[in-house]
Amino acid sequence: MTKLSVNINKIATLRNARGGNNPDVVQTAIDCECFGAEGITVHPRPDERHIRYADVLELKKVLNTEFNIEGYPDNRYMEIISKVKPAQATLVPDPPEVLTSNAGWDTIRNHDFLKEIILELKKSGSRVSIFLEPDPKQVEGALKVGADRIELYTESYATKYTQNRAKAIAPYLETAKVAKEAGLGINAGHDLDLNNLGYLIEQIPFLDEVSIGHALICDALYYGLENTIQLYRRQLK
> pLDDT, tens digit, for every residue of 130-171?
999 999 999 999 999 999 999 999 999 999 999 999 999 999
Kindly report the CATH number assigned to the domain that includes residue 222: 3.20.20.70
pLDDT tens track for 66-88: 999 999 999 999 999 999 999 99
Catalytic residues: 43, 70, 190
Task: Please state the domain count of the chain.
Answer: 1
∠ CA 107-161-68, nearest 5°, is 45
pLDDT for 92 equals 96
3-state secondary structure of 127: strand
Q: Mean of the pLDDT values across residues 91-119? A: 85
pLDDT for 202 equals 98
DSSP 211: E
171 by Cβ neighbours in 10 Å (0-12 / 13-18 / 19+) ranks as: middle
Q: Give the residue from 44, 59, 57 showing the smallest Cα distance to 13.
A: 44
Domain limits at 88? Answer: 3-235
pLDDT for 94 equals 81
